[in-house]
Chains A and B, each alone.
Chain A
Amino acid sequence: MDLAALKTQLKNFVQSMFEEGVLDNQFSQIQALQDSTNPNFVEEVITLFCNDAERIINEINRNLGYQNVDFSNLDSYVHQLKGSSSSIGANRLKLACANLRQASDERNKEGCLQALQLITCEYCLLRRKFQALLHLERSIVELETNQK
């Protein structure tokens, strides 16, 4: 595939993520911050976010596995996940956090488990799409480098 076609594919792919509500305008701001002085900023942020999100989701899962759930601790994790999701523009994941927060506030363990299931689904979807996005970006960079 040539460079122009790859760029179009990337553009359309990102646009589809906006249209599906997977991303919101905050992600546009992150893309705008990437420049020649920081050419890998988007990839760095996505990588950081995914590492943190997976850690937090695993911690929430572990917490909910205990007979006596520490809901205060759980609330801290949800707070963090919602914050980082909002900051990177992960719209659907951010919204999914609200369900978990409400269930945690109600001390509803079953509700928390259901909400965590949704969060896990949304995160997996987001991660797959981020991986595809980064694959396209790397392909573009490789082609541009080869053409120089």
Chain B
Amino acid sequence: MFNLRKSMALTLPLGEASDQDKWDNGGLERKRQLLIEIVLRSRLTALMVDGDTTCWVLKQELLRSYGVQTLGVDNGRDAIDLIASDAAFNLIIIEKILPVLNGLEVTRQICEIGMRCKMLAVTAYSGESERQAFLATSVDVFIEKPLDLEHLVPILRELDRQ
């Protein structure tokens, strides 16, 4: 689902002069490396499912910086209830270990409900057995935290093209 919007060229802020003053050459180079410019035609929506507040806030701000509307829940049961109530999202980002209902079970139930969207599992430890278990459900991408731009930006571009 999307609404057509005016094209937006979004970059992470390069910073005004006073911010640049905070950075030495190495810091500026790091900041330039973080700049990934993408043009979004659509207003994308994302559901974040993570019981950890720090991770939740960081992912929300990262998505917000690209103009993605986000909704977050901190446990698996609330995620299922939301999906079951016909809430629709372009992207679901889910952690493996969650209160009430774990991430793997949540992805299985989302699949059973019939929700179709991009699903990204972002978890603290990405062992091979965990990876295979998630990919066997409806998860499209399985990565280890942190959620980085190298994984996120191609996903946003793909969703925007759809």
Contacts and interface: CB of A to CB of B under 8 A. Distances in A.
Interface in B80-127: 95-97, 123-125
Contact of A87 (B18, B31, B34, B145): B145
A82 interface: yes
A82 B21 CA distance: 33
Given A15-B24, A79-B125, A87-B146, A32 B52 contact: no
B31 A32 contact: yes
A131 to B, nearest CB: 17
B15 to A, nearest CB: 8
B129 interface: no
Contacts of A49: 54
Contact of B124 (A31, A35, A83): A83
Contact of B12 (A7, A32, A52, A86): A32
B97 A80 contact: yes
Max chain A Cβ within 10 angstroms of own Cβ: one of B23, B54, B59, B147: B54
Contacts of B13: 32, 35
Contacts of B58: 30, 33, 45, 87-88
A82 B124 contact: yes
Interface residues of A, number: 35
B30 interface: yes
Interface in A6-48: 7, 10-12, 14-15, 25-26, 28-33, 35, 38, 41, 44-45, 48
Given A29-B149, A48-B57, A88-B58, A83 B27 contact: no
A84 interface: yes
A84 B125 contact: no
Contacts of B124: 79-80, 82-83, 86
Nearest to B35: A32
B65 interface: yes
B22 A87 contact: no
Nearest to B96: A79
Interface of B: 12-13, 18, 21-24, 26-27, 30-31, 34, 51-55, 57-59, 61-62, 65, 95-97, 123-125, 144-149
20 contacts: A4-B21, A7-B22, A11-B22, A11-B24, A15-B26, A15-B27, A25-B30, A26-B146, A28-B27, A28-B31, A28-B34, A32-B34, A33-B65, A48-B54, A49-B54, A52-B54, A76-B97, A83-B52, A83-B95, A88-B54
Across the A-B interface, give the 9 residue pairs with the lowest CB-CB distance, nearest first. A83-B124, A84-B54, A86-B145, A82-B124, A87-B146, A49-B54, A35-B13, A28-B30, A87-B55
